[in-house]
A and B are shown apart, each in its own frame.
Chain A
């Protein structure tokens, strides 16, 4: 069973790192190859893929990809590249995409375009002979299902932490020039939103609020996040209530974050929410309910109302 990691370069450094990590995690004895795809070759990305242990790095280039990240256009370009890379569509191949919403969408599109099987967002992946076994969460994280693909192409996303880049460089680099005609992207009107905080991706500290924090409270959390050189997140109920934009939703249906410290304010600690926080992150829980589940997984806990504690924190942090 061969493994191939596909990385649309326009998706950025986090996508590159998390996809390479998945490749390393599943490399086994057979190693893995990497397909970098974009409008221009990137020596840095190639170098990282080599130092992550890739056996072969394919640099696929399509001038039509320079404008954006339309998943269907990316899928069409990747399909052309795979036609050149894969000896036969029936040969077993585990194809890994960057974890996250965009990667999961791309996995589904590629599976359909190439008559493979989409395995989506996997909790674990393993290879047994020529079969791929995928474990996925279901029913809000309360159940697990195991899917098995016996043959052909399997497309999956897996979170496996961060990649390491200290492996001997043995990879050969092959350039693929793509020519397929890509679907036209959306004609969109864009406006700047009021979003100014740093993104969740890559933040070393996230201050996150839940259902119990009102609009004024989120303003304080934003101030606290900035004072702590971090950024702001929120639970699904907080997003539903309009306290924080959906781009800052943490959880199984939102973003996955892996900060050093995750400061959860007024968050009860449901499975769905905690599924979006790395096991490596240290959770600080602030909640007025001493029985809240969040305290069972936190490193530090404070039983308090945010209305008193957050202002006290801001005062103590004042220059």
Chain B
């Protein structure tokens, strides 16, 4: 089994966002010291692949990480999990607002370099500018079907099973064709910690970058990029004091006032 994992990274929410601006030719420019790390969906996609390799050592994992700020450090953090290969992909993660074009570009690279990979695994949202459009579009570009919102992948003998939950049921698929699998976060695919020796080895790695075909500039235009305004809610928080019993009684009284049926 050959698995290709596609990762993008996101800005670390624990820190202030680095300066980002729009250039006169409508390109997004990220400046300053950006702190990019794997998103929960990236981590889930990587862990799913690692678990499949744990279950079958013949499994090969190749990883592509979209370019962007702090790429080298992010590559090193991924390298610590010892994929069989790891390369940057020469498309800026900040370009993914143009999901159709990006999917075509990424699909062309996969077709050229990883045509025999049975699984392409990707988080259900890719990076800071994709809201879930890219996985289905990439599946279309690769002429594959997409199994969306996967939570578990596991071997049962020689068979590979994928699972997702819908409502009150679990849905299990036996993989019998090349697929694109978009993975969501779940306790069963929380990314493991790498071994320290692998972290140290990753520091010495040198990485290459796979170029992508030149974009065909059609489709939507990026007209503006600006900081999000502060959202105003009702707020005016009414604080309830006293001990827990008093706070509980006060809250129940407030809920009754709101018409909550108790």
Contact = CB atoms under 8 A, between A and B. Distances in A.
Q: Do A and B bind each other?
A: yes
Interface of A: 71-72, 101, 104-105, 107-109, 111-112, 117-121, 133-134, 136-150, 154, 183, 186-193, 195-196, 199, 204-205, 227-229, 236, 239-242, 245-247, 249, 253, 260-261, 270-272, 274, 279, 282-285, 295-304, 308-309, 311-313, 315-317
A301 to B, nearest CB: 4
B165 A195 contact: yes
Contacts of B229: 144
Contacts of A186: 147, 171, 173
Contact of A245 (B41, B124, B165): B165
Contacts of A192: 168-170
Contact of B133 (A107, A205, A240): A107
B146 to A, nearest CB: 8
- From A139, A242, A282, name the one whose CB has the most chain B CB atoms within 10 angstroms: A139
Given A186-B173, A261-B260, A133 B235 contact: no
B41 A253 contact: yes
Nearest to B17: A142
B17 A143 contact: yes
A312 B248 contact: yes
8 contacts: A107-B133, A144-B228, A148-B223, A189-B174, A228-B262, A261-B255, A296-B237, A300-B240
Contacts of A308: 244
Interface in B231-262: 231, 233-240, 244-245, 247-249, 251-252, 254-255, 258-262
Nearest to B22: A145
Contact of A236 (B147, B185, B187, B233): B185
A192 B255 CA distance: 34
9 nearest A-B pairs in the assembled complex, by CB-CB distance: A242-B187, A146-B224, A312-B248, A312-B244, A108-B133, A121-B131, A147-B220, A308-B244, A297-B233
Contacts of A282: 234, 258
B172 A191 contact: yes
A190 B169 contact: yes
B97 interface: yes
Contacts of B254: 284, 300
A101 B234 contact: no
Interface string B143-185: 0011111010000000000000111111111100000000011
A272 B136 CA distance: 23
